[in-house]
Structure 1
Amino acid sequence: MSKSTTAVDGATQTEIRPRYEGSNICTWIGFKHVNYMVEEAVYDHLRQLGLPAGKLYERHGLGVDITDIDTKIRTAFHIDDLATATVTPAADKGDGRRFTVEMTVEREGETVKAVTSKVAVQFRLDPHGHPAEEPPAELAGHVTDRLGAGAEPIRVEPGTDPADLLTAGKNAFAWTWRIPYFYCHFTERMQMSGYLRQMEEVVDLFLEDRGVSIKTLLDEQDWIPVVPHSKITILDEANMEETLYTVFTVENVFKRFTYTARMDTYVLRDGVLVPTATGRITHGWAVIENRRDWSLVDFDDRLVNGLNGKAGKITARGTA
């Protein structure tokens, strides 16, 4: 990032490039890494306001946690693009600070809107007993002892497989997974970028389970999945080395052009499934025209049947 600026209305601008890791198929950047760019813009905004995440944690014992991210991708990023991100404070809703993020990119001499996003940030008190200063005055009313908006837990009867319970009677897929330390921050809890990685991988596993894996459609039809919209909200904290149950549920296939699905995650504590995050993602498919361009296509019967198929589950397939 470079060329950070602050406006009179409290908005900030910064230039940011996508990370090379996110360029997986040709030179296009996937939705997860677009969201990473949004995250970095928000953290730079706080830095410009004198509230850098490092200082807040080290001096005040506050973890800066993104707890809600809702991103629409209007123009695809490529690996060498330089985006201009504008972060503007939005009306708070009692659960931390809220911001809107808009990213633009140059295309053939014109400035094009590429991404719009809504983001919520909470400032979480560190539970460990190390000395810390009082929170900065400007964060009064925004400090919390625990992340999340909360959701109704689900009791699991003895002998019941939680994955079976969560997918019963639904067009859903479940994945059971151990949370590793590198999905966490501020010592113990899973962070938003970890949930973005979880959403990316559960889609990959779901499509493989339904016989329409990403590689299959690439090899046979030159098709790739594209994501115009994704959203994740943290409902409670999930901690390092807990078992996370991730459920991916297809909600709607729209005119053979896009499908929408929900991701819900849970941890099992004392016989109760505690919801820790929920999100939604919209997918389309595109055909690769050349090394730079693609165009959207209608779903064929194989893909439609796969999306509408039977429930499945995979247990503990590595990490993303």
Structure 2
Amino acid sequence: MTTTTVSLRPRYEGSNICTWIGFKHVNYMVEEAVLDHLRQSGFPAGALYERFGLCTDITDLDTKILTAFHIDDLARATVKRVDGEGPLRLVVELTVERDGKTVKAVKSKVAVSFRLDPHGFDAEPVPTELRPHVVEEIGTPGAAVLDKVGALEPIAVGDADPLDVLTAGRNAFAWAWRIPYFYCHFTERVQMSGYLRQMEEILDLFVEDRGASIKTLLDEQNWIPVVPKSRITFLGEANMEETLYTVFTVEEVFKRYTFTARMDCYVLRDGELVPTATGRITHGWAVIENRKDWSLVDFDDRLIGAITGKAGSLSGRGAS
């Protein structure tokens, strides 16, 4: 089946500020649409694993948010399959009703790989239709993807602190974090939703470190962060109970209105930081006008100083 549709609602957990839904839970809706597409196509994720030993992994998720979701919205998701080699590629669009009209709320490009289960239980032969998308290990994607996100190479650490290595000479913040089982799936490795949670948390830690925490700006100015665009691409595998080193690097500030930052994730193996995921996120800030509405604002001097590294702690590192 090349095109499917499904109706979805955002989860209550994602309604953190007033009734608006954050970017992470918007991406969760995209993920649900993809899983439903596979079910309607005859390949539910559960059966793929239990019968064929195939682990369904979203390995690239590139999402643009055009209209904000509220907690009671009902979205209509359309998923279209795109021909090509390598991972299964899909385009997902979410629409929502606004003032009696259907408007496009989200457009997302998604790549799915079917990773062979490493645990060695008996399995049926892989379905013919899925064979081109099956991998023995999740690794570096094709050059077309890396051209947009940026290639990463392993980094030798030696006796240095990995957090210092990742932030030296950069407008960046890094964080060391032990990977718990509940960020993983298929018994061993971090899944896409785990990296989305990393991307959300590293921004929170970054602005707090710079003296402009989310709560500070809410309490003092009624400002909230908003995300119009995000992308995460898998480069390798990060496993349960390894330490994940995540670095958040500011790349560009656009007219005091938005800024783009890069998130890179590594695990330390044999003295090297091995890249496992990379991505970008675009952030703006908005003022809460009432319980239903907000509007974007220009960054003030405090916020622009925090983002550019000219104010705040500038410690550039953290640890959990």
Both proteins in one fold, TM over 0.5: yes
Alpha-carbon separation, structure 2, partners of 1:116 and 1:195 = 19
The offset of 1:129, in angstroms, is 1.5
Q: Which amino acid aligns with 1:117?
A: S
Alpha-carbon separation, structure 2, partners of 1:286 and 1:170 = 27
1:71 aligns with 2:63: yes
1:142 aligns with 2:121: no
- State the Cα deviation string for residues 126-164 of structure 1 (Å, max 9, x = none): 00011111111111221100013164211112x200110
1:132 matched residue in structure 2: 123
Which residue among 4, 8, 32 is the counterpart of 1:12? 4
On the 8 A contact 1:170/1:311 being kept in 2, the answer is: no
Report the RMSD for the aligned CA atoms in angstroms.
0.9
The offset of 1:91, in angstroms, is 3.0
The offset of 1:291, in angstroms, is 0.1
> Across the two proteins, how many residue pairs are aligned to each other?
306
The offset of 1:68, in angstroms, is 0.2
- State the Cα deviation string for residues 248-277 of structure 1 (Å, max 9, x = none): 000011100000000000000010110000
Alpha-carbon separation, structure 1, partners of 2:55 and 2:79 = 20
Written as runs of structure 1 = structure 2, the 5 A alignment for 1:1-320 is 10-92=2-84, 94-149=85-140, 151-157=152-158, 159-309=159-309, 310-316=314-320
Q: Which amino acid aligns with 2:156?
A: R
Alpha-carbon separation, structure 1, partners of 2:268 and 2:108 = 31
TM-score (norm 1): 0.94
- Identity of paired residues, percent? 73
The offset of 1:102, in angstroms, is 0.4
- State the Cα deviation string for residues 286-311 of structure 1 (Å, max 9, x = none): 00000000000000000000001135
On the 8 A contact 1:214/1:225 being kept in 2, the answer is: yes
Gaps of 5+ in 1: 1-5
Alpha-carbon separation, structure 2, partners of 1:155 and 1:138 = 41
Q: Which amino acid aligns with 2:5?
A: Q
Alpha-carbon separation, structure 2, partners of 1:16 and 1:188 = 29
Q: Which amino acid aligns with 1:52?
A: P
Alpha-carbon separation, structure 1, partners of 2:83 and 2:289 = 43
Alpha-carbon separation, structure 1, partners of 2:22 and 2:54 = 31
Alpha-carbon separation, structure 2, partners of 1:49 and 1:311 = 50
Q: Which amino acid aligns with 1:113?
A: K
SS of the equivalent of 2:132 reads coil
On the 8 A contact 1:167/1:311 being kept in 2, the answer is: no
Alpha-carbon separation, structure 1, partners of 2:238 and 2:178 = 11
SS of the equivalent of 1:51 reads coil
Q: Which amino acid aligns with 1:21?
A: E
SS of the equivalent of 2:139 reads coil
Alpha-carbon separation, structure 2, partners of 1:99 and 1:217 = 38
Which 10-residue stretch deviates more, 234-243 or 145-154? 145-154
TM-score (norm 2): 0.94
Alpha-carbon separation, structure 2, partners of 1:274 and 1:131 = 31
Alpha-carbon separation, structure 2, partners of 1:281 and 1:68 = 14
- State the Cα deviation string for residues 199-255 of structure 1 (Å, max 9, x = none): 000000001000000000000000000000000000000000000000000001110
Alpha-carbon separation, structure 2, partners of 1:253 and 1:224 = 17
Alpha-carbon separation, structure 1, partners of 2:50 and 2:258 = 45
Alpha-carbon separation, structure 2, partners of 1:132 and 1:305 = 56
Alpha-carbon separation, structure 2, partners of 1:142 and 1:306 = 43
